[in-house]
Amino acid sequence: MKQSPRRCEIQFVLLLSAGCTTGQVAPQGYSCGDPSKGHCYAQASVGDHLTGFQTTIGVVSTFLPGDGFVNNEFWLNNYRGSGGWIEIGYQANTVELPKYFWAKVDPDTHLYQSFDIGTIPSEEVSTRVTFDVHQTGEDTFVLSVDGTTTHFTATVTINLWDGTYGGYVMLGQELSGMSGAAASLAMFVDNQAYDQTYQRHFLTEADNPSDDLLDKPPYGGWFQKPAAGNQGGVFPTYCCKE
């Protein structure tokens, strides 16, 4: 019998509640670069020629950047050799309160731009918030963040690909810095992909969910890989004590 994502989440928390999922400070001596390069990841790849992605992420109560930053997020990427992507999620860094943000790299100009959506409201800490990026027309994408009090949407023009060619998604946690980061357990659930007709469906095996790619720290991986009937799988992340 297929288990629900909620039941899997409860089991995962029970199994690891005595360990490092409560947001303990990362081991001293990790090396995840400065804010502009050399970051560490706990992530997985999904999709083949997707035109968008939606996931619901737990907003953690323990979220400390150390001397860098920590993100829970996803990237909608193209296949070009020059690269190009849109990312969206939430971040803790050394100079601001934890915030929602989105960013992009334009494949035509190679220009990176980051945009603040807003400080995470206290009402949304320890709740789940839904993040979405999907194509609606030629070079046109809609971004959204939907929580208890946050209801953000924006339209972005970027030439990620021609027509509805599509791309793939990386989801998970990104870590920058050398010491002091901490993030409690966050679940990515209700993971959904948009196809080339702009229709959305829960991820399954057909969407090619990869095994996790972990730098340790941060930590994560598929607790329940996407499959028919399980509402897109369950992907947890946390940072960082071994």
Smallest CA-to-CA distance from 238 within 48, 63, 79, 15 is with: 63
206 contacts: CB under 8 Å, gap ≥ 6: none
Per-residue pLDDT of 52-76, as tens digits, reads 999 999 999 999 999 999 999 999 9
Look up the CATH number of the domain holding residue 183.
2.60.120
8: left (phi over 0), alpha (psi -120 to 50) or beta: alpha
> How far is residue 135's CA from residue 142's CA, in Å, rounded to a whole number?
6
Per-residue pLDDT of 119-129, as tens digits, reads 999 999 999 99
Going residue by residue through the chain, which has 242 residues, state the pLDDT in tens, using 9 for 90 and above. Answer: 444 545 544 454 444 443 445 666 656 668 898 666 689 999 999 999 999 999 999 999 999 999 999 999 999 999 976 689 999 999 999 999 999 999 999 999 999 999 999 999 999 999 999 999 999 999 999 999 999 999 999 999 999 999 999 999 999 999 999 889 999 999 999 999 999 999 999 999 999 999 888 998 999 999 999 999 999 999 999 997 64
On the question of a cis peptide bond just before residue 218, with omega within 30 degrees of 0, the verdict is yes
In this structure, are residues 52 and 76 in contact, taking their beta carbons and an 8 Å threshold? yes
Per-residue pLDDT of 129-160, as tens digits, reads 999 999 999 999 999 999 999 999 999 999 99
Smallest CA-to-CA distance from 88 within 108, 104, 69 is with: 104
Total-model pTM: 0.90
On the question of a cis peptide bond just before residue 32, with omega within 30 degrees of 0, the verdict is no
Domain coverage including residue 21: 5-239
Q: What is the domain count for the chain?
A: 1
